Amino acid sequence: MKKKASAISFFVFIIFPILLLQGCFQAAQETTFDLIIKGGRVYDGTTAKPRIMDIGIKGDKIAAIGSFSGIAAKTINAQGLIVTPGFIDVHSHTDLILKEKGMGRVIAYIKPSLNGNHNYLYQGVTSIITGNSSRGYANTAKWLGWVDSLKFGTNVYHLAPVTAIREEIFGIKALKPLDETQRNILKKRLTKEMENGAIGISCDLSANPDQMLAQDELADIASSIKPYGGVMAINLRSNSGKQDATGNSALVSSLKEVVEIGRLSQTPLQISSLKLAAPENNFSYGQIISIIRSAREAGIDITADQTPYDADVDVLTRFLPAQYITSNNKIAREYTTAEGKIIINKAIDKLFQSQGPEKFLIISYPANKSYEGKTISRIATFEGKAPAQCYSEMVMAEQAPMVALEGYSERFAKTIMPSQLIFTASEGISYIEGRPLPHPGYWGAFAHKLRKYALEDKIVPLQDAIRSMTSLPAEKFKLRGRGQITVGFFADIAIIDLKKIKDKATFVQPEQYAAGVEYLVVNGIVSLEKGNITGKKGGKAQKRI
């Protein structure tokens, strides 16, 4: 009897309190989640099949995934929705648009759509990479510091832009090849930017002054960032399908040049804005991916990004050969003379052989608002002038118009899109009202790819489309802790209604936010809720680790 009593006492006074404490401890653990996302179909950014799971978030990190019990300050019911990592735009020009504001950049502090990066948030984008196409902020530390002072809506990573840095060092008018001493000065500055947090550098071989860099010089510049593990993002010299002196298309020759730069430098390369411009007769569409695959098999780390549209928006001057254009997109002074205009007119006539004047749509022209919404062909008829003359007059203006050109091959875009070597990009900006009308991709690139090419046309499987926006670019650019839904990773998460996901922006009416992203979490902060901006911003400036 005493033994039985002792056993009861042992249980009551020793074991039961321990069990009670364990239960309390477990309950305490259950209350540590700040946010739980319940019952969504999770595409985790990898090749794993999507599964119905819950996600627990604590602070800015993912703390639990799967089936678990717990309570949180906030719970999101994701049943019937898909859950993905936040999207990553590897090709953004947001720093350029803010840089252009000059002293007026104070407006960025008071415009929620600008500092909140709303056009990106509505697409499910949680991180952007700036400094692309060799332009933007030359000073990485200054740019990233400003991003943090704005309390920006998305994470921001930066590439050190070669042209912007070159012009800061040597001046905007120094349009001549660099000598060895100057190139060493440039390389030293690029390494400084890497030390200040840049994740790589960018170069644009289609425009001056980068166009003057030879292949071996480019390899030398690229190799300077190799010790830092940085990426060199590079625009090809040409995207044209026209045959050159080698018998290849200009696009193929340009790609082979970049592959050789990668071989010589052994630096990871990212081809910016891979697309095919007219003409495309007798073009081998699969050849481009074949070249990239062969390069990778040879040990060259090379990938590319594309914007999922067959039309581009740019300043009208940019469609002329680079040797006639200054770095600020104006016709070089020597070509504004009577003799120079003859040369420009010949270049325009040659351009019209592959890109007819009916393909150029004027979308913004402060000098003559009546031209907006009209093609150059229609303007020429209205003015009673030759199309080439109209083109010439507009590029000679103080501010040349912005145009949309329907000149890129959708067939080519569809051919390369399914490859895991191709990432999704917008080439966009954080938009502010009153700017020249931009490309609709600023508002809809990611939603457009999901709706049109994954769900409707089925050009690329949904899971692969998501990977092209998440884990693949995160891995390439070494964005640690991003791009996957994994315990310990940052809580950048998009919750999407596939029935609603779509882009609304058009070339005529681009300022329309995408639909279908029901919730967006940036570093644990719910920035989009029930399809609406919350005003809470979780973005941060991010430095190379």
The mean pLDDT of 354-372, rounded to a whole number, is 89
Top mean-pLDDT range of 100-114, 303-317, 395-409, 509-523: 509-523
Name the CA dihedral angle for 23, 28, 33, 34, rounded to a multiple of 10 degrees.
Answer: 150
**Per the omega criterion (within 30 degrees of 0), is the bond before 366 cis?**
no
Phi, psi of 55 (to 5 degrees): -130, 125
Range with lowest mean pLDDT among 25-34, 128-137, 293-302, 327-336: 25-34
Radius of gyration of the chain (CA): 26
The residue behind tokens 């809720």 is 529
- The DSSP H or E segment spanning 16 is helix 16-30
pLDDT above 60: residue 15: no
Determine the pLDDT at residue 105: 74
Cα(352)–Cα(359) distance, rounded to whole angstroms? 9
Report the amino acid identity of residue 249: S
Helix ranges (H only) for 273-375 are 287-297, 338-354
Q: For 273, left (φ over 0), alpha (ψ -120 to 50), or beta?
A: left
Give the confidence band of 63 by pLDDT, cuts at 50, 70, 90. very high
The mean pLDDT of 261-270, rounded to a whole number, is 97
Determine the pLDDT at residue 30: 57
Structure tokens at 362: 């004027």
For 362, the 3-state DSSP assignment is: strand
The residue behind tokens 């019990």 is 69
Structure tokens at 532: 């609406």
Structure tokens at 237: 């010299």
- Give Cβ neighbours of residue 151 (< 8 Å, ≥ 6 apart): 115, 537, 539
Please, what's the largest Cα pairwise distance for the chain?
119
pLDDT above 80: residue 10: no
**β-pair partners for 130:** 158
Determine the pLDDT at residue 84: 98
Domain ranges across the chain: 2-84, 89-310+408-480+501-518+528-533, 323-402
| Residues 98-132: tens digit of each pLDDT | 776 665 677 888 889 989 999 999 999 999 999 99
Spacing of C-alpha 413 from chain mean position: 16
pLDDT above 50: residue 24: no
Give the confidence band of 9 by pLDDT, cuts at 50, 70, 90. low
The mean pLDDT of 522-543, rounded to a whole number, is 97
Neighbours of 5 (CB within 10 A): 9
Helix ranges (H only) for 317-386 are 338-354, 376-383
Neighbours of 463 (CB within 10 A): 18
Q: For 369, left (φ over 0), alpha (ψ -120 to 50), or beta?
A: alpha
Phi, psi of 174 (to 5 degrees): -80, 65
Cα(436)–Cα(429) distance, rounded to whole angstroms? 12
Cα(184)–Cα(186) distance, rounded to whole angstroms? 5
Q: What percent of the chain has pLDDT over 70?
A: 92
Determine the pLDDT at residue 29: 47
pTM listed for this prediction: 0.87
For 373, the 3-state DSSP assignment is: coil
Classify domain 89-310+408-480+501-518+528-533 at the CATH superfamily level.
Metal-dependent hydrolases (3.20.20.140)
Mean residue pLDDT across the chain: 90
pLDDT above 60: residue 207: yes
The mean pLDDT of 28-43, rounded to a whole number, is 85
CA atoms in the 13 A half-sphere facing the CB of 177: 9
Spacing of C-alpha 516 from chain mean position: 20
153-155-158 Cα angle (round to 5): 125
Determine the pLDDT at residue 431: 82
CATH 2.30.40.10 assigned to domain 2-84? The reply is: yes
pLDDT above 90: residue 242: no
For 368, the 3-state DSSP assignment is: coil
Determine the pLDDT at residue 17: 52
DSSP string, 425-477: ---B----TTSPP--THHHHHHHHIIIIIIIIS-SS-HHHHHHTTTHHHHHHT
pLDDT above 60: residue 394: yes
Q: Do the Cβ atoms of 464 and 420 come closer than 8 Å?
A: yes
Range with lowest mean pLDDT among 115-124, 207-216, 257-266, 533-542: 207-216
Cα(364)–Cα(36) distance, rounded to whole angstroms? 46
Q: Do the Cβ atoms of 77 and 38 come closer than 8 Å?
A: yes
Determine the pLDDT at residue 21: 47
Q: What percent of the chain has pLDDT over 90?
A: 71
Helices (H) and strands (E) in the chain, counts: 19, 20
Determine the pLDDT at residue 28: 43
Determine the pLDDT at residue 18: 52
273-505-499 Cα angle (round to 5): 100
Determine the pLDDT at residue 23: 43
Determine the pLDDT at residue 280: 81
**β-pair partners for 75:** 36
Determine the pLDDT at residue 109: 86
